[in-house]
Chains A and B, each alone.
Chain A
Amino acid sequence: EVQLVESGGGLVRPGESLRLSCAASGFTFSTYSINWVRQAPGKGLEWVSSISSSSSSIYYADSVKGRFTISRDNAKNSLFLQMSSLRAEDTAVYYCARVSSNYFDYWGQGTLVTVSS
């Protein structure tokens, strides 16, 4: 069974940093691109970042470029999102999602990040 489990969310102050993790199981992690997608409270879905299977291709939404860094450890079946210079508008549930072709076929349950003073 494919599973994606996010962790690392919490309450931080504006300007601080936070690192999210996504633990994968039930599939060959090293062969899939994995993405981060977020959802602000009561709002829609926003794509955040993408990393290819070998980490050779990385992309970011303009809203997080220069502040967030995506990475992965294929040996540990793990995905990460290092978030710095956090802003109130980064408050959201962050999901990791597996990519199949051009769509997201499996999603984690999400981890909540709250940025507030």
Chain B
Amino acid sequence: EIVLTQSPATLSLSPGERATLSCRASQSVSSDLAWYQQKPGQAPRLLIYETFNRATGIPARFSGSGSGTDFTLTIRSLEPEDFVVYYCQQRSFSLYTFGQGTKLEIK
């Protein structure tokens, strides 16, 4: 099973700043990576799929990058509504795993 480790667990920034969230896999991720955003009391929402691609309706300030075992979600110029929790996810051999999440909080 591929383990995904997200860092940091909590990221404290101010609106307008740039956020860089990391997701590291225990083995090379051959099927690319997805990122989700989860607001309190809501279901997760797909942000980025196949490492780079923004899902429908996702603002351009969200971008994904990486390959192999190291992946990054970047949020350029944080908006107040961006201060929630983010998860990375991969699929390997028909099994799915999620990272433990990064909480983005207002500094």
> A residues engaging B (CB < 8 A)?
35, 37, 44-47, 50, 57, 59, 61, 95, 100-110
> B residues engaging A (CB < 8 A)?
31-32, 34, 36, 38, 42-46, 49-50, 55, 87, 89-91, 94-101
Bound complex: CA A105 to CA B48 (Å): 10
Q: Which among B45, B50, B94, B100 is the interface contact of A107 at CB below 8 angstroms?
A: B45
Contact between B96 and A44, CB atoms less than 8 A apart:
no
Q: Which among A45, A102, A108 is the interface contact of B87 at CB below 8 angstroms?
A: A45
Interface SS of A by simple majority: strand
Q: Which among A37, A59, A104 is the interface contact of B34 at CB below 8 angstroms?
A: A104
Contacts of A107 in B (CB 8 A): 43-45
Distance in Å from the Cβ of A70 to the closest Cβ of chain B?
13
Q: A44-B100, A61-B95, A104-B36 are in contact. List 7 more A-B contacts (CB 8 A).
A: A44-B101, A45-B89, A59-B94, A101-B31, A104-B34, A105-B46, A107-B44
In the complex, residue of chain B having the shortest beta-carbon distance to the beta carbon of A110: B43
Given A44-B87, A47-B95, A50-B96: A109 and B46 interface contact (C-beta under 8 Å):
no
Contact between B43 and A35, CB atoms less than 8 A apart:
no
Contact between B101 and A50, CB atoms less than 8 A apart:
no
Contacts of A35 in B (CB 8 A): 96
Bound complex: CA A67 to CA B100 (Å): 24
In the complex, the 3 A-B pairs of residues with the closest C-beta atoms, listed nearest first: A103-B34, A47-B96, A102-B91
Contact between A46 and B98, CB atoms less than 8 A apart:
yes
Distance in Å from the Cβ of A58 to the closest Cβ of chain B?
9
